[in-house]
Chain A
């Protein structure tokens, strides 16, 4: 891959890769490191695709796999938060909409991000994540319900 072609793809998909990593990992610095790793792989060992949309799917898949590896690593497990029931931060904590979305579980927010932000069809999300379409729709349904609940909690006085 030429530097010019790589720079073009980097500009086009940098945010996507960062967002997918951030959705999965929930840590900005780690997400940035993962993004660099994924794009380094694209530069040194690019897939032979002719269409940008295929590169996009490849990037998402590589990012999700890398996040999965990191989540399984001992280091990440030792620093991971407990699986407590998510609650919305109090308004005086200066919470943002992103903070609230990030209270969803990684599985739910990743699927919702791809569906609502990236406009990926259910079939594509299923293929990229290696899960069934029914699992995607189920996660979307659960994600909507949980997000609604969290946003309503925030609005409470």
Chain B
């Protein structure tokens, strides 16, 4: 995946931050998704227009995790969000 890529939140999606978590509502399907604190942080960074590389760097500075593990987890998470059409 291009590390300089940014994502847009789908126009079919609305979300609410309930610190430290986030709940996403897919208006197209009426489905709700809950994000844990780490997922919520990624969602916030994506909403702020951060690139994938920036997301990696910021999370590495905030969480005690190896780069390999973090990159794989974030990639899986982004892939899941894309498949569900929550980000485009």
- Asked if chains A and B come from one complex, the reply is no
